[in-house]
Structure 1
Amino acid sequence: MSDATLPDTATPRPVPFRGGGFRPVAKRGVGLAVFVVLLLVIEWGTRAGWIGNLTLPRPSDVGAALVELYQSGMLWTHLGPSLARLAVGSLLGISAGIGVGVLIGLFSYIRAGLVPLVAALFPIPKIALLPLFVIWFGIDEGSKYALIALGTFTPTVVSTYGAVDNVDRALVRMGQSFGLGWWSIVRKIILPGALPGILSGLRVSLAIGIILLVAAEMLGAEHGIGAYVLQAGSLYDLERLFAGVVILSALGVVTSWVIGLVEKRLLRWRG
């Protein structure tokens, strides 16, 4: 066979990469564009009469209420106490939840004793316990801290021991085969492997904490976003009411963004 009849293998042809498609790709500006379009549609609908003023206020009027709240100084008067309550209550509940969740994931006797208790507490509407906490801790800050702490504790426990359970046991056996001790396996394999699931669970826990914060501030709080929303609702001031809702929504977005930054910093090893 002559060289002219041989296939040309000197020039390799590139093979398309087939491993993509399931990895999330950031699309900057898409979420903001959707949000802006939605606001424009609502603004147009309220001005054209398709949406009644008693149903939704104009976004421009809500923006004016936010500007007035900021210029009057009342924004920080209400937002400051809310942030403090959310920070203290969530810190207590999440810290305890991560600790208990890790213990449940590591020790069988603790799992057998505490999982039924957590399963019994988890479906209870925490808002229903607010009057009980008022009796126990008083109507001041203690009852609000306790409600937020309990509300963030149970989902954090569930997500934490679920994340520990999902750590690849092949990695644990590999560590044992290399002679690592129990504490080294926990510190170097189990906790880093469970960290993504724990951080994902924190998004849900903090969202629940914000919901319970509003409920707690609607009972016996002079200042706070929940008290502001309650006052606006009692006066049927929809612009101020939705301004409070926007602040709560922004608070949720900011907490999720902060957790995202923590994930990028702590989970750089995932690549």
Structure 2
Amino acid sequence: MKENRQVIKNRVAFLERKIPTYASVLGITGLLLLWELVCRMNIVPPLFLPAPTAIITAGWEMIHSGELFKNLLASLYRIGWGYALGATLGIIIGLILGFSKWADAIFTPIVYSIYPIPKIALLPLIILWFGIGEMPKVAIIALGVFFPVLINTFSGVKSVDSILIKAAVTFGSNHFNVIRKVILPGALPTIFAGLKLAAGTALLLLVSAEMIAAQYGIGAMVLHYGNLMITNKLMVGVLLLSLLGLLFNRGLQWLERKLIPWK
């Protein structure tokens, strides 16, 4: 009996074990070393895959010239406004559709009919509406963020236990308090899943929009150096996008821990 208990304890300890932080660092370091080795041995020509040291050197030159910051700031401005606008509208309208049966019946079919349309295909039309400038790029990012956040918010609201809602109403809560104290906290985990999904969509649309209709930005920089076949500077832009995606994800995880401590 004691042996069985010890076996169970060992299994539980194995499942609950914490992986040290340096494990992730070791994985990335190993990948970079392997990458550098492949390039140093000329297994892949530098034109097709520049070494990490060559990319770092190119990035340092671009920092000194101010080129990297100029493009980065342009992209951060677009994705910041686009993401904030799309996420805010997505959460508000998702709550309305989830809470109101009339709004659900009227507008949900419209949402699901528009959602499958590739958003980048609408960029020429948005440029026609808003003209050439920052607004079309912000709008296309906001549109891409809006739908996944809306759909996840709607699903989160629908997944809230109806007994909790009825109990709140029974104890005299008005519609606003029911949404604020019952529906929104219950839907937050699903909403954050939508926000994380929308972050990847926002980066994708940012790069696509900048490649099509922008003079500055990370996407425009990647396209420019791709056309010139300067792959070390091209890879600077690609790695910068990867870093932005990582920071986006970490930031949302931190915010999720703060707003949903019970999760």
TM over 0.5: yes
- Report the Cα offset of residue 26 of structure 1: 5.7
Mark the CA change 1:24 to 1:162 in structure 2 (over 3 Å): closer, same or farther.
farther
Q: Distance in 1 between matches of 2:15 and 2:171?
A: 34
Number of equivalenced pairs: 258
1:96 pairs with one of 89, 97, 104: 89
Map Cα deviations across residues 67-109 of structure 1 (whole Å, 9 max, x no partner): 1111211121111111011111111111111111111110111
Q: Distance in 1 between matches of 2:236 and 2:118?
A: 26
1:204 aligns with 197
Mark the CA change 1:17 to 1:112 in structure 2 (over 3 Å): closer, same or farther.
farther
Query: 149-158 or 111-120, which moves further after superposition?
Result: 111-120
Mark the CA change 1:46 to 1:257 in structure 2 (over 3 Å): closer, same or farther.
same
Matches within 5 A, 1:115-194: 115-194=108-187
1:84 aligns with 77
Three-state SS of the structure 2 residue aligned to 1:250 is: helix
Mark the CA change 1:98 to 1:25 in structure 2 (over 3 Å): closer, same or farther.
farther
Q: Distance in 2 between matches of 1:187 and 1:19?
A: 38
Query: 45-54 or 240-249, which moves further after superposition?
Result: 45-54
Q: Distance in 2 between matches of 1:109 and 1:228?
A: 47
Asked whether 1:257 is paired with 2:250, we answer: yes
Mark the CA change 1:267 to 1:142 in structure 2 (over 3 Å): closer, same or farther.
same
Map Cα deviations across residues 28-63 of structure 1 (whole Å, 9 max, x no partner): 122222111111111111111323334321111111
Map Cα deviations across residues 12-35 of structure 1 (whole Å, 9 max, x no partner): x99849878777956412222211
Three-state SS of the structure 2 residue aligned to 1:77 is: helix
1:73 pairs with one of 66, 72, 76: 66
Give the residue type in structure 1 aligned to 2:97: I
Map Cα deviations across residues 98-154 of structure 1 (whole Å, 9 max, x no partner): 111111110111111221111112111111111111111112111111111111111
Q: Which structure carries more helix by proportion?
A: 2
Q: Distance in 2 between matches of 1:179 and 1:88?
A: 39
1:220 pairs with one of 191, 209, 213: 213
1:6 aligns with none
1:234 pairs with one of 227, 230, 234: 227
- Report the Cα offset of residue 194 of structure 1: 0.8
Mark the CA change 1:38 to 1:226 in structure 2 (over 3 Å): closer, same or farther.
same
TM-score by length of structure 2 reads: 0.90
When the two chains are superposed, the root-mean-square deviation of aligned CA atoms in Å is 2.3
CA contact (8 A) 2:47 2:230 kept: no
Q: Distance in 1 between matches of 2:163 and 2:215?
A: 55
Q: Distance in 2 between matches of 1:158 and 1:20?
A: 38
Percent sequence identity is 37
TM-score by length of structure 1 reads: 0.87
Mark the CA change 1:30 to 1:171 in structure 2 (over 3 Å): closer, same or farther.
farther
- Report the Cα offset of residue 182 of structure 1: 3.3
Larger Rg: 1
2:240 pairs with one of 247, 251, 260: 247
Q: Which runs of 5+ in 2 are unaligned?
A: none
Asked whether 1:30 is paired with 2:23, we answer: yes
CA contact (8 A) 2:54 2:232 kept: yes
1:111 pairs with one of 84, 101, 104: 104
Three-state SS of the structure 2 residue aligned to 1:218 is: helix
